[in-house]
Copies of this chain bind each other. A is one copy, B any other.
Amino acid sequence: MRAFTAAAVQIAPLPGPLTAASVAANCAKAVEWVERCVAATGAELVVLPESASTGFTPGVGPDELWDLVSGVPGPVTEPLQDVARRLGVHLVWGTYERGARRGTVHNSAVVIGPSGDVLGTYRKTHPFCTEMRSRGGWVEPGDEVVVVETDLGRLGVVICFDGDYPELARIQAVRGAEVIARPSALLRSADLWELTSRARAYDNHVFVVGANCTGTDPAGVLYFGNSLVVTPTAEVVARAASHECWVSARLDPERAMASLTPGSSVPHVFDHLADRNLDLLRRYADDLVRPAATSFPHAAPRPTDVVD
C-alpha cells in the first residue's frame, strides 16, 4: 500500500416511492458528490453508502426491485464508472444488483478503478434478518469474499451488518486487505457503529473507511450518518455529523503501526494477524463453522423490523 487520501461520502437517497427516475437521480447525485469531494480533498479512494442507488429499504418487493436496478456493470454503475474514469479515482459504490433471474437481488458494493472498470463486486454475505428474501425481505446473500489489488493497495469490502462479523474481516485481512471499505445504512446507535468499525480495524490492523447513509429511504427508514475513517491501531481520524457531506483522511502505511497508541513513544511490537494461535484455530475449526445461537431471550424478527 502507498500513502493516499481516502474519503467517505455520506448522502441521502431521494425520499418517496422508488422509480426508475429516482434510481437514476440517486446515481447522478452520487456522481456530483464524488466530483466535489475529489476536487476538494484530492481523495484517490471514495467510499459511498450501502444501496446508495435506491436507499436501503426499497419499499418494493424483490421482483420490482430487480426490475428497477440492473446487472453490474450496467445502468446502476455506469455513471459512477464514468466519474471514476474522468477523475482517475477508485470508488466503492453500494447498489442493489440484478441477479441471475427476476427476483434475485444482491446488496452489492462495486469496486471501480481509475480506468472506470469494475475491479470487483462484493455481495453482502450477512444481510440483516429482515432484509433476507428467505425471511420476508428482498436480498439474496452473497457467498464470496472480495479483496481487490489496486495501485493504492489491497482493498477489501464489507457492507454494514457484515462489519459485525469478525470472521469476514479476518478472511479479507488474511487474503491481504490493507483497507476495508464499509458502505453502510446502519440503524443502530452511533456508538455501536464506532465500536464495530474500530474493532474490525484493530482486530486485523487494517484501515476502515465507513460511509454510512443519512436521511430517509423510500420506506421512510431514518439514517444517522456519522461516517468515519479508522486506522490499523483503532484511532478514529475522521468523523462526520449527520449532514450530507464527506470526511477524508490521509492513510499512510508508514505511520499506520508506528506506535502502540496514537503519538506514543512506545513502539507497536505485535501483529494481530501473525500472532494468531493457528494450532488452536485448527483444532477448533469445526466450532467456527457450526450453528449456534445465543441463549438470551430476544425478539423474533418481523418483516417490519428493519435494523440494517
Chain A residues proximal to chain B, CB less than 8 Å? 1, 12, 15, 37, 40-41, 125-126, 128-130, 141, 143-145, 161, 164-168, 170-171, 173-176, 178, 187-192, 194-196, 198-199, 202-203, 205, 214-216, 221-226, 229, 232, 234, 236-249, 253-254, 256-258, 260-285, 287-302, 305, 307
Contact = CB atoms under 8 A, between A and B. Distances in A.
Contact of A178 (B222, B260, B295): B295
A259 to B, nearest CB: 8
Contact of A145 (B161, B269, B280, B282): B280
B268 A245 contact: no
Nearest to A164: B272
A99 B57 CA distance: 42
B166 A305 contact: no
Given A145-B284, A189-B241, A285-B289, 19 more contacts: A1-B295, A1-B296, A143-B279, A145-B287, A178-B296, A189-B226, A192-B261, A199-B202, A224-B224, A229-B263, A239-B261, A240-B266, A243-B307, A247-B261, A247-B265, A257-B296, A257-B298, A270-B307, A278-B289
Main SS class of interface, A = loop
Nearest to A175: B287
Contacts of A192: 202, 234, 241, 261
Tallying the copies of this chain within the complex gives: 4
A206 to B, nearest CB: 8
A82 B130 CA distance: 38
A288 B190 contact: no
A12 B232 CA distance: 29
B240 A165 contact: no
Contacts of A171: 284, 287-288
A161 B302 CA distance: 38
Nearest to A254: B297
User: Top 3 nearest A-B pairs by Cβ distance?
Assistant: A238-B263, A190-B190, A166-B166
Given A245-B266, A261-B189, A307-B266, A294 B278 contact: no
Contact of A222 (B12, B170, B263): B12
